[in-house]
Amino acid sequence: MPIRSLLTGLLWMAFLACAAAAPRAEYKIVTASKTGTYIQIGRDLATWVAEPADIDLEVLESKGSAENVQRMRFEPGVKLALVQSDVYQAFLDEAKAGNADAGNIIRPLRLVMPLYDEEIYFVARADSPLNSIHEIRNKVIGVGPLGSGTALTSRTLYQLMFGEPLPTANAQYLSNEEALARLTVDKSIDVAIIVAGQPAKLFSDMKAEARNYIKILKLDDAAPETARAKKTYFPAVIRAASYPTWLKADVTTLTVKAYLVTYDYGLQSTVGNLGRFAESLCINFDKLQANGHPKWKQVRLELPALSQGWRYYAPMEKRMRTCIARRAAVAASTAVQAPPPSRACTEQELVLGICRR
């Protein structure tokens, strides 16, 4: 039996003994639009993590991260959310600055684990004179819907790059689909900013003719605006292999981190259910990477140190750390020792008849 299968089997036997006695819970997770990556990640969690943990997890669409934070805090039944790191940090910054509403919303929220980097797409018309991200100053921009993480990311990036807020008259709060229509049909905007982990369904569904209508602006490392943007965001590559039907070459861009978020619950039944979810996430992590969205392959099963003001949800953290350690121990105990490398025998070993090649 392969080591990975043995490892999963041993962990799963222990997990099932705990899950069998627990009542089935009905929870919700808020994600993003139906053409984005978040909703696919949510569906993967429902299938490969929640279901084995005896939890019915309903995957809900949303406008994105900023709305998700609000719904995570106040909407009944929502126990999990997908949130961009810059949105989470923005709420913490507002709370630290004295905004009582921001503090009331963000302080009880907790992280489950970091996930992956989401690429930021700066989309322009194919015939646009714009070629690089730092050229969007004073352009009319589709920044994402109000309440979305994309809207906050767009405005934050603009402020970082140009040292001034995005002019109100230049910001159009549109869904991804609306922004692309405004960009290419009535040409009322110059750029659409879209945040989505690749491959994103919105772009994967495009036909070869898409290259006649749109292009993705590239990150210019030599531009001073890029250096300023990198204080908060990180460089990345949108790969042509992610969109082979229409994207001809890789495009450099920026990214933002995605996190799985919950609330600081104290009710015993909820603590138990989310603890099972956390352990199932650990045990079934290989299945997520093998069967889920390609972005799962970029996720590492670990709980790194967090920035100031960020905290893990302790009951889930404890279960995950215990499971991660158990996985490592089982893997180490079942590892097959490699034979020592062969070497040439010395003349003395040959004479004594103790040559072991």
Q: Which of 10-24, 74-88, 97-111, 126-140 has the lowest mean pLDDT?
A: 10-24
pLDDT of residue 357: 61
What are all long-range contacts of 93-96, with beta carbons under 8 Å and residues at least 24 apart?
Answer: 96/309
**Cα distances (angstroms) measured from residue 294 to each of 37, 44, 59:** 10, 11, 19
Other Cβ atoms less than 10 A from the Cβ of 348: the count is 9
Taking only the tens place, the pLDDT of each residue in 28-43 is 999 998 888 999 999 9
Residue 6: the pLDDT is 55
pLDDT at 36: 85
Contact 109, 30 (CB under 8 A): no
pTM for the model: 0.79
Contact status, residue 263 vs residue 311, Cβ threshold 8 Å: no
Q: How many degrees, rounded to 5, is the angle at CA 50 between CA 90 and CA 288?
A: 80
Alpha helices (H) in the chain, listed in sequence order: 3-19, 38-45, 65-74, 85-96, 100-106, 149-162, 176-184, 201-204, 224-229, 268-283, 285-291, 314-334, 347-352
Picking from 282, 231, 322, the residue whose alpha carbon sits closest to that of residue 113 is: 282
